[in-house]
Amino acid sequence: MVNDEGQLYTIEGVAAGMIMLFTTYLVLGATSVYTPGDTHISDMQLEQIGTDALVMMNTPVNGTVKSNLTEIVETSRINATAADETFNTTFLKYVNERTGSESDNLHYMADVTYRSDLTDNSITSYQLACTHNRIMNAGDHPVRVTEWVIADKQFPGSVNHPRAVLVEVLLWRD
């Protein structure tokens, strides 16, 4: 500096600059950039809802009876329509329940996978149930939730053996 004039103006200028920068910082901080990696947040919530619903269905009311889900899987070997009905009602009731009168809009597709050949360990899946008025479209973004079930009814490849089968549910919101 050649002379000492205008020092107060300079300080004021610097202060104003700081305020402007701080404002910019606040504005930028208030908005968030939604990156592709952030989709996991909604996915995780959906996965948790689905897992919770399946765990609830697979919890027996006491130690001597079978769980809802076990009975549905066992029924599905004899009467697929009845199993589909029961699963559909119970599962949709659990996942679509929300505070207030409006229900959520989740849809699903449920499969059962089992080991079909005891010697070469090949596996087979069949459809257990699905949302009745909907099919999965290309734009839907489903998550997969699973639940293990020990079922007593006959699965091919064994006689009078309880079997461990996997219930897999694709769940999506629209």
In the DSSP assignment, the letter for residue 104 is P
Distance CA 21, CA 8 (A): 20
| Contacts to another protein from residues 64-93, by CB under 8 A | none
Mark the segment that binds another protein (CB under 8 A) among 83-91, 97-105, 127-135, 155-163: 155-163
Distance CA 145, CA 9 (A): 65
To another protein, the closest distance from the beta carbon of 38 in angstroms equals 6
**Should residue 113 be labelled a site residue for another protein when binding is judged by CB under 8 A?**
yes
Q: Which is nearer to another protein, 85 or 116 (CB)?
A: 116
CA dihedral sign, ordered 68, 71, 76, 81: negative
Site string for another protein, 5-34 (x = CB under 8 A): -----x--xx--x---x--xx--x----x-
To another protein, the closest distance from the beta carbon of 148 in angstroms equals 4
To another protein, the closest distance from the beta carbon of 161 in angstroms equals 5
- Tell which residue, 47, 28, 31, 51, has the closest CA to residue 39: 47
Q: Which of 71, 74, 84, 147 binds another protein (CB under 8 A)?
A: 147
Residue carrying structure tokens 């208030």: 30
Strand partners, 127: 111
Distance CA 95, CA 107 (A): 9
Give the phi and the psi of residue 67 in degrees, each rounded to 5: -75, 160
Contact footprint for another protein (CB under 8 A): 2, 10, 13-14, 17, 21, 24-25, 28, 33, 35-40, 43-44, 47, 51, 113-115, 118, 121, 123, 145-150, 158, 161-166, 168
